[in-house]
Structure 1
Amino acid sequence: MLEKKEAQYEKVVLVGLITQEQSEEKTKEYMDELEFLAYTAGAETLERFMQKTDKPDSKYFVGSGKLAEIKEFVLKNHVDTIIFDDELTPSQLKNIEKFMDKKIVDRTNLILDIFAQRAETSYARTQVELAQYEYILPRLTRMWTHLERQRGGIGMRGPGETEIETDRRIVRDRIALLKKKLEKIDKQMATQRKNRGQLVRVALVGYTNVGKSTLMNVLSKSDVFAEDKLFATLDTTVRKVVIGNLPFLLTDTVGFIRKLPTQLVESFKSTLDEVREADLILHVVDISHPSFEDHINSVNQTLSDIDSLDKPTVLIFNKIDDFEYIEKAEDDLSEKTFENYSLSDLQKMWVAKSEDPSIFISARKEINLNELRKLLYEKVKEIHVTRFPYNNFLFDYYDDVEE
């Protein structure tokens, strides 16, 4: 029998900056996220490099001394790729690659690469391809170097892997063609949304990897792909859900992320249209993540960008089974931090500070799901009776749904 080969992970190092706008603590959080992104793309992180500076170096992003230090490590440890935590300018990419003689990938390219891996449908692939071409267009000089060396792996799954496709005119023509294709699909999807009837529409939104797809599976009793990696779901999934005697449509959408490439926001317009046209938003949050409040703010910023922040919303704090709490001594007067807040503390805090109703659950362990169903029933009913007042007799009582 043939032995199974273990998956080959690309060896990478990560590079980030500590600046006036981004503290050391925040940079470490971003680097944690970047490492998870790299792992999702198929990489093993060997080392992280951070430099404190007022602003990014216009030529090399980091200082030349730091870049020389990185190069020494890269050569000594046979590293394949250097990944930077911010989007690099075309000139920075060109200069760094010339200095390092290695493949250089920035955060935007890494996210686009993950999307390229995960796009399953023709529609998702078209959206990703458009975003990739728009990223490539100002960087064609740099792409020539890559193509001459015929490197594969992370950041190299994009379109334009023959000489003719790197011509600016042809890339622009391709962008125009993809936009027309997406416009056609957008119209078809808009028609599909209209044809779904008058059911109340509910959209799941949240930071990537907070458990939206798992919650979708539990509520709709379906089998949507869910995985403990970033951007497990790219394609919008719509399921009919019935709670008690009340049906509604539940939509799972692509996860958001800090520093989300602008190319993706634009190319995934139709996916975001599902959120724009929703009657109720379920904002799913990973309560076990130390940066969950930052995640909430990032999602709210994207919702604001698409004019959906004022929609009726329920905050669903997921993964309470992963929450860790370190008990402090009664005489310990040090400042409370996330690590020593109890789940009860966070519940009281968020019920008090949030204008939106909130609930704490575990989708994976199905904890408090009956309470969530009751809350959803009430929120959907409020919308339904306003839209269809003649159907009020349907809601004389709520039938408890067993866990």
Structure 2
Amino acid sequence: MKIKYFKGRVSRGFFSIFATRIVLRISMGLLCMFLPIFLYNFFNENIFLVFAYYFVGYFLYASSIAIACQFLNKIGLRLSLRISVVIGAVYYLFLYFFDIFSRIEVFSLQNKTLLWLIVLIIVTQVIQRSLYWVPLNTDMAKFTNKTNRARQVSLLEAATLVLGAVTPLISGIILTYYQYDALFSIALVIYLIALIPLMFLPRTREKYTWTYKKTWKEFFSKERRGAMLAYAGDGAEAVVGAVIWPIFIFELLDGNYFEVGALSSLIVIFTIILQLMIGGYADKGSKKKMLHWGSALYALGWIIKIFIVTAFHIFIVSAYHNLMKIIARTPFNALSYEKAADEGHYVDEYTALHEMAVNYGKTAMIVLSSILVCFFSLEWTFILAALASLVMNFITQTQVKKTGRKSI
């Protein structure tokens, strides 16, 4: 398929993956700002219990990837993605019942019903992630090409931003007039629609050839150290933006759901067109140079966020921060997919290492943030996010490890 924005033809597989990601992004976008807030309120504003919830989820997922990949050979990448969508819908169903029960019963460590629901939610999400992210990123590396990779990544990021401009506002309105159970129900229905574009996804003949022991050996290998540190930094920075930042602005806006959603939507609108422009530049120019400058300016944005005290500050600083995120994120994602594609038939193995590093980075950030907030207020965790974003530059200092590729 040929589109003017791209150079030459783009594979049908890319558009299937693109459509799947968009549908799932709509569903997850309804929750991304508000799930941490939901948990924060449920745990009676105990930030340490929120951290504990995310720590367990990230750690279990990171530790199970090497095992889950052995299972992928039996069902294939395409079927794995389809099953992950069904399990993801079950995850939303558990969240729905969790909200219902949390309004009936008060949370305590002695409340077995709510504790079991938390366990089911975490385990279901771990299984869903194990079946989704490695196959998805493997197919993304296979169905994008070097000529258009930054443009393709940029298009996906831009579409995500468009949705990010709408979904928080919709969520804010829903939560202003209804409860979380309504939000979870809508997200569940939309999530299942992702099965439709997956029906048209071409089959990829990739087999995960590493053993459990081999996976861990490669993860800790000297040749891959730079890339693994970069991905860990990416995950560490992301968890501050996904978990801590929503809680911070919720507190700053005095718990007003509509203001949180509306302000988040307004911020995103200012960054959409630039995303597409940067994708074209990254294909023509130096991705490494763009990443170096982008990550430095993005880190500065985290430092500035420490001193935010009003809604106007949130808007101005976040608009700047989103722009810098685009400049850093586009070349970083493009380089990540290039490195995976350069692995040849080891693309799924490399993707597994990437996922392990990202989620161990998230786990480490949760631990460090827990320690920091014992002595300082929540916004000082943004310093950790700034440092983590600079670590992403290590991806430019690694080469593809020669692993003795074999055709399948």
For the aligned pair, the TM-score class normalised by the smaller chain equals: under 0.3
By relative contact order (CA 8 Å, sep 6+), the higher-ranking structure is 2
Q: What is the TM-score normalised by the length of structure 1? A: 0.22
Of Structure 1 and Structure 2, which has the larger fraction of its residues in strand?
1
Please identify the structure whose Cα radius of gyration is greater. 1
Query: So what's the TM-score if we normalise by structure 2?
Result: 0.22
Identify the structure with the greater helix proportion: 2
